[in-house]
Amino acid sequence: MNIQSKIASNVHVDFDGPYRMSVGGDLVGADQTFDVYNPATGAVVANAPEASREQVDAAIAAAKAAQPGWAGLSWEARSAYIAAYADALDAHKEELITLLTTEQGKPRHSMATVEVDYAIYWVREVAKRRLEDEVLEDTDEHTVRVAHTPLGVVGAITPWNFPVLLGLWKIAPCLITGNTIIMKPSPYTPLGTLRFGEIAQKILPPGVLNIVSGGNAQGAWITEHPDVSKISFTGSTATGRKVMAASSGNLKRITLELGGNDPAIVLPGTDYKPLIPTLFDAAFGNSGQWCIAIKRLYVHDTLYDDFLSDFVDYTAEKTVGDGMDPNTDLGPIQNTMQYGKLLDLFADVKAKGYAVPLGGEIDEARPGNFVPITIVDNPPKDSRIVREEPFGPILPVLRFSDVDAVIADANDTEFGLGASVWGPDREEAVSVANRIEAGTVWVNEIHIHGIDIPFGGHKQSGMGVENGKEGLQEFTNTKTYMVKK
């Protein structure tokens, strides 16, 4: 049977509600629910089910029961299912985009559309990937072959900043390698994930993809469960430490994609004016709510004054507003917890008397979690705005004169996720990049990702990698066969 014949027009999903979890192929509610808010208005947009312990256990049991049959399919058969799932998602992408803006806040016409389109593309492309066996020895007397076998049941916990992309980013490689999955989205942005779980139930075999919603308790139940073989977590470093500790009970495999305090270094002689839109997007895109955003922008002393003036002028033209408004450049902060953290950080910047050429004052009387785009002019390197990950639209721009010193400053952090180096001499820029302690360093470009490009953090920015052959292998055990002939 052509799996893809099952999709498209016959996959009906009501995006207005109710919102239900996916457990063993069934769509289920819960005795308890929690409110989901529109961060642009503060209004409740829906109620999401809060999974009970019994429902989480049932979802894991369903995943465990389904896994041998799913793993027993050929790569081509699993690929056909996943490609059909991508087609079904694509048939509903407009609804997914609107729902993403409604619960997350990012502008519908730009970042929300890009996220959903990119996520569907990612699923479709990952479905084409394979992990081939490797023959290490093949003589008349002996054969050695290395294969990659599924781990079993994977628990995936996803964040609120890119809920669609990062959810599907985990699902596709997990499933193509023969695992089954239980996923829990952030309680701040569960709706899109619940909906793409509902779509999956119309395509995938029962139990292959299970989605439950709730808060910290549900995440802990998944992380601690003895029948879960791996946890794939994206979120804060503080929570990542808890996930790592909780996974030790049965020595779960873990992939942790955690926080960042990414530096960007603009070297002397750089023609920076054409780069300003790129640097703006890299720092302030998604209202600064992404782990690989530029969080510290170092500019050489010979460029600093002119750069700062031009950067402020460009940034001042941008609009912060409701993501459904086509004139909005940046949406609100997604939740009141993060909004409160930014209130505290802005208060520190003000109390310390740092120069703020743009923004700096949050209007708490304005409905919604809106924070102005803010630039801080050369604060001390030991200041909170430099040392901490703000996760909001506030950026310190820092002056440097010595390349060795700025490299030391860039590396003086517990984080090591990403970084970028910008300069007219490519060899010099690459030489600087070689000395940066980060999992990904871009040179004269930024935020380029790819299906076949590994992505992961150094230091306390994470453990393991996603994407590429290495990312697929993270969902497998390495198994060596040695055969005497």
The residues carrying an active-site annotation are 257, 291
The residues that bridge with 34 in the sheet, in sequence order, are 48
Plot region of 372 (φ>0 → left; ψ -120 to 50 → alpha; else → beta): beta
| Residue 44, C-beta contacts closer than 8 angstroms, at least 6 positions apart | 35, 36, 37, 38
CA–CA distance, 485 with 482 (Å, rounded to integer): 10
At which residue do the structure tokens 């794939």 appear? 232
Residues 6 or more apart whose CB falls under 8 angstroms from that of 232 comprise 154, 155, 156, 157, 170, 174, 254, 255, 466, 474
Contacts of 197 (CB under 8 A, 6+ apart): 21, 22, 183, 209, 210, 211
Instruction: Give the Cα separation of 425 and 268 in Å (integer).
Output: 10
Q: How many residues does the chain have?
A: 485
CB distance 411 to 433 below 8 Å = no
Closest CA to 341 of 376, 392, 283: 392
Residue 70 CB coordination number (10 Å): 22
Tally Cβ neighbours within 10 Å of residue 412: 14
* In contact, 175 and 151? CB cutoff 8 Å: no
Rounded distance between C-alpha atoms, residue 312 and residue 310, angstroms: 5
